[in-house]
Amino acid sequence: MIQHFQMTLPSYGRGFHIVTNQILQQIDQLPEQGLITVFIKHTSAGLTINENADPTVLMDFESYFNQIVQERMPFIKHDLEGDDDMPALIKSSLVGSSVTVPIMHGRLALGTWQGIYLCEFRDRPHRRSLVIGLYS
């Protein structure tokens, strides 16, 4: 059986934000086994799975991405929405727009220290739309 849900996350400022519980709140009950996919409908934000326990990991991700994809690089042409526009598009391509997690025993089969991150790459907070696919 396949089910799809749409949800909108609250506005988040630039950075990495754990949204696992917000995603799970959209689903009445997970099947005993299956898969969940989460897709973000935006080009300047992404999704990934990583450390969910230590908040410094979220800060380090932000610092690292800002170091490797800097704003106001002289060769960047696309800046219609500001200096953070093209860097946000590049960062979202590096991270990706979806995650897939197995479901086992009615729970997400994430590791002990794993969570789903919203990776917000724009300076101004945005409300981000997600599509959740549940496959059982």
| Boundaries of domain holding 51 | 2-135
Q: What is the pTM of this model?
A: 0.95
pLDDT at residue 109 above 90?
yes
Three-state DSSP at 19 gives coil
> Could you read off the pLDDT of 7-34 as tens digits, one per residue?
999 999 999 999 999 999 999 899 999 9
pLDDT value at residue 131: 98
What confidence tier does 93 reach under pLDDT thresholds 50, 70, 90? very high
> Could you read off the pLDDT of 41-83 as tens digits, one per residue?
999 999 999 999 999 999 999 999 999 999 999 999 998 899 9
Tell me the mean pLDDT in the region 112-117. 97
pLDDT value at residue 80: 86
Q: Count the domains in the chain.
A: 1
- CB atoms closer than 10 angstroms to residue 31: 15
pLDDT value at residue 79: 87
CATH number at residue 76: 2.60.120.460
pLDDT at residue 107 above 90?
yes
| DSSP state string for 35-71 | EEEEEE--SSEEEEEEE-S-HHHHHHHHHHHHHHS-S
